[in-house]
Structure 1
Amino acid sequence: MLRLSLPARIVGCLLMLATFLVVVRPAEAAVPDRKAWVLWNQTSGTVTGYGTWPAPTTVTVVGVGRYQVKFPGQGAPNGVVHVTAVNNAPHWCQAENWFQSGADEIVNIRCYRVGGALDPSSFSAFFVRASGGPAPGPYGYVDSAASGALVSQYNSVGAPNSSTPGGVGQWLVRFPGLVTGGPLDGSLQATAVNAATGARCKVGSWSSNAGGQDVKVLCFNAGGAPLNTRFTLTYQHKVSLYGAAVPPKYYGYFLFQPGLGPATTNLNSVLGLGANTVMGAGPGLFLVTFPRIAFPQNTVQVTAYGANPNFCGLNTGWTNSTSGPDLFVRDVNCFTNAGAPVTAGFTVSANSIL
């Protein structure tokens, strides 16, 4: 047997390490490739620093209820966008489109009031693009056309996701291989994508089963009728909404059905399962507390849950308290299609850059 001298063996090891570093490029080393979010304050006409990353992000008003967000340095093809209206009156916001422009990511957003007219609103918006691996935790997303064809997708185990249309305004989205034990684990966010008309999407139901995650997505027009539209959907389990685990050390999510869902749908990255809380704060209002994870810059996203056209958003921006530090969402607000406050189901996800 040929025996190498110690110096030769050291050189060989260094060459192997160099080869590994070349093969595992940064874009393939971990999820995500790009991430960004913004909290827009319509009243002041400014972005809110604690809810915006990267800091130089800008928002430009391009029409009544229409906004263009520029996330500097975060440009990447494909990916997904989520957006949540922040308004104490019944409003929703949706994505119009998004695209890479040089090094930057451009996201166009539309906000509506009840009845379907474009209307100014504050909002919280989020962008992520993931590819390659290895990836922590079960995590995936789809950008689905109304036909079910996938514009883009990601699955942390590399399996192909799918979106299958059912009746009008209904899809069965499958994340195969994202197995968690079930019967219901993790969290979801859904957003309508439509550049022509008011559209809202939500999670109708989902199951965590031996094959992965099966999610029923429902979308509606401004009149509350089922609507075929493009949409995005993100699934997270013991990872942040942008797919990373450590960092960030600080993230949380839960399902309200109404009533808290199973403990496995209520995760706090510091305190574990079942630590986040929700309390009624008035008609259609829900005070949400995420203990110990209030580290900016962070983002909060909300999606309605259930079979009807009710929709949910944020009453005001969240608060990062110094005590705890705890993150307070004051409040999640939910409405009927006619704009009346209602006790409704929702999922909520809070995520830090740290």
Structure 2
Amino acid sequence: MDLRSEGWHRNPKERWHVSSTVRYLATSVNILIAFLIPSLLSVQSVERPQTLYFDGVAVQAGDEVITLSELNRVETSNLKERPVTTQSERSELRSEILRELSFQALETQAGEDLGLDAQAIRFQLEFQEAEERAKIGATAYADRLVEQGTTALDNFADRQSEYLRILWRRSRLGLQVADRRPATDRYIRPGELHYSFRVNREFLAPPQVRFQILAIPSSAAGGSELAKASCEEARQKVLEGIDMGALVEEFGAALRETRGVSPLLVLSQISDPVLRQLADEEPGSLSAVIPLADPRGNPDPEAGYQFAMLFEKVVPPPPNYEDAEIQHRLRNAQTNRRDLRILNRAKQQMVMGAYSWIHPGLVRPPPEKDGPEDGAPGGSNPPSGGPR
């Protein structure tokens, strides 16, 4: 419609009335929006759903993803055998587990890539599991799974992955895999054997020692100080000429069945510095009274005290290359070294050719000051960032 043709421009009063109406409506709409926007925002903030994370990614190795819950399960199992007391020990243990899980995932995928019959592998594992369950009983088998912190499905998956890793290692070492014949010559030549004998001659017949140990736990003596005092009293009696075996039966709460005598030990097997120093002395020499060791091998005065006597030192004759036992040991050692070298090279090639990712929040450096360990097995809070 043409407003000019209708005389719109000729009626100022009507034009002012319409303009006022339009301005009034616009103002009312602005006021209404100003009141409604905060209400709408508050409703949106209240009704907005919260994101819940049920799990996260700890490691990605090739096509395999290892979740945080699986990492926690493995870490909890390791903590039972290797307890930690500080944050740095916890970080070190977790780093080792992450690297091992990454290697295991890549080895499992390499085992799958061998192209073996998956149904045959599953049938063999199910048969082994059924035999094991029948041997110890269904109840004992279920209790063992609970003790290990796993389920029947997770346990079967772990066994299947381990079996595939073994197959991959055997294939790299040239051993027989399933119905495939060996393809590598693993024979150790006489020249290699003789060279190994010349290089390792001093290690083939090392000196061996036997200790006699009197240990008194604090729990048996009624306290740490009483255990230490009893050990010092028994040591003084040995210096006076009393038989240490009789003192072990009188004072020692442990090792009574063997009268405290240890088996023969090679010097390289002795990790305790006190016993290592005692091994260089003459038979009959005594060590100082020292604390017992904790599960990690560190001195723990609260556990009790002990002292040792060098009971026997055996120096065998020089090794003879014609001895069949010597050659058997040399051949096994040479084979193991070669297998380890082959597997390490194969692992390096596998890692270089695969994509691997470890959650950065799991490998953060330990704090400068160690503190007591707390929190859940996987840490007090799940790490932030990275894929979930």
Higher relative contact order (CA 8 A, sep 6+): 2
Higher relative helix content: 2
Q: Quick check: TM above 0.5?
A: no
Higher relative strand content: 1
What TM-score, normalized to structure 1? Answer: 0.18
What TM-score, normalized to structure 2? Answer: 0.17
